[in-house]
Amino acid sequence: QSALTQPASVSGSPGQSITISCTGTSSDIGGNNYVSWYQQHPGKAPKVMIYDVSNRPSGVSNRFSGSKSGNTASLTISGLQAEDEADYYCSSVTSSDTVIFGGGTKLTVV
Amino acid sequence: EVQLVQSGAEVRKPGESLKISCKGSGYTFTNYWIAWVRQMPGKGLEWMGIIYPGDSDTTYSPSFRGQVTISADKSISTAYLQWSSLKASDTAMYYCARGDCARCKLDPWGQGTPVTVSS
Q: pLDDT tens, B56-106? A: 999 999 999 999 999 999 999 999 999 999 999 999 999 999 999 989 999
Distance CA A100, CA B8 (A): 26
Contact B104 A34 (CB under 8 A): yes
- In this prediction, residue A25 carries a pLDDT of 97
- In this prediction, residue A2 carries a pLDDT of 84
- With beta carbons under 8 A apart, name residues in chain B contacting A101: 37, 44-47
Residue B15 backbone dihedrals phi, psi, to 5 degrees: 95, -15
Decide: helix, strand or coil at residue B12. strand
User: Checking DSSP bridges between strand B10-12 and strand B113-117, what pairing results, if any?
Assistant: parallel
Span A9-20, average pLDDT: 98
A94 touches chain B (CB under 8 A): no
Name, in order, each residue with C-beta under 8 angstroms of B106's C-beta and a sequence gap of 6 or more.
Answer: A36, A38, A46, A48, A91, B35, B37, B97, B98, B99
HSE at residue A96, side-chain half, CA atoms within 13 A, is: 10
- In this prediction, residue B80 carries a pLDDT of 98
**A42-81 per-position pLDDT tens digit:** 999 999 999 999 999 999 999 999 999 999 999 999 999 9
The pLDDT mean for chain B works out to: 97
Is it the case that residue A82 has pLDDT exceeding 80?
yes
Contact B62 A48 (CB under 8 A): no
Contact B61 A91 (CB under 8 A): no
CA-based diameter of chain B, in Å?
41
Is it the case that residue A1 has pLDDT exceeding 90?
no
A41 touches chain B (CB under 8 A): no
Q: Are A57 and A37 in contact (CB under 8 A)?
A: no
A101 touches chain B (CB under 8 A): yes
